Amino acid sequence: MKKYLFLCLLVSYSINSFASDQLNGTVWQTMDDETNQPRALVRFSEDKNGALSATIEKILVASEANQCSKCEGPYKNKSLNGLAIVKNLKSSGQNKYGNGSILDPKTGKTYSFNATLSPDGKKLSGRGYIGISALGRSQTWYRIK
């Protein structure tokens, strides 16, 4: 009976491991698309429905404000550390992600967000936009862990 229970637990753990997205738990260095300098470290996590979010773990720019003063609603004047900047990002297969949103703490605006993970898993190319993707801006983030 103990062996059977152990086997069931092992199979259950294996299934959950395979179900987890490859971005889940990874840490990325964000880059300022104007200065091309590192801005923050963000960590991706996956919710029970398989949607990904990314939360700021550390601000890398000393002069950066410590709170989201230009944000609206529940984000207004919240600390940037721990702030979820990417929400509801979903895998669409072949290292592509879509249907998410991204918050720009500098402006307080939220944009639609799509991303593509490089084949080696070291770069995440994201595009934030309003309406159509052609009307947006892109950033490349670099994997830390």
63 occurs within a structural domain: yes
10 occurs within a structural domain: no
pTM for the model: 0.82
Please report, for residues 8, 13, 15, the alpha-carbon distance to residue 2 in angstroms, rounded to integers and kept in the order given: 10, 16, 20
Name the domain count of the chain: 1
Q: Check which CATH number belongs to the domain holding 82 and give it.
A: 2.40.128.520
Please report, for residues 27, 51, 75, the alpha-carbon distance to residue 132 in angstroms, rounded to integers and kept in the order given: 28, 21, 25
- The token duo for 100 is 């998410």
**pLDDT tens readout for residues 4-32:** 444 444 444 434 444 589 999 999 999 98
92 occurs within a structural domain: yes
**pLDDT tens readout for residues 66-125:** 888 888 888 888 889 999 999 999 999 999 999 999 999 889 999 999 999 999 999 999
- Its domain, for residue 106, covers 23-143
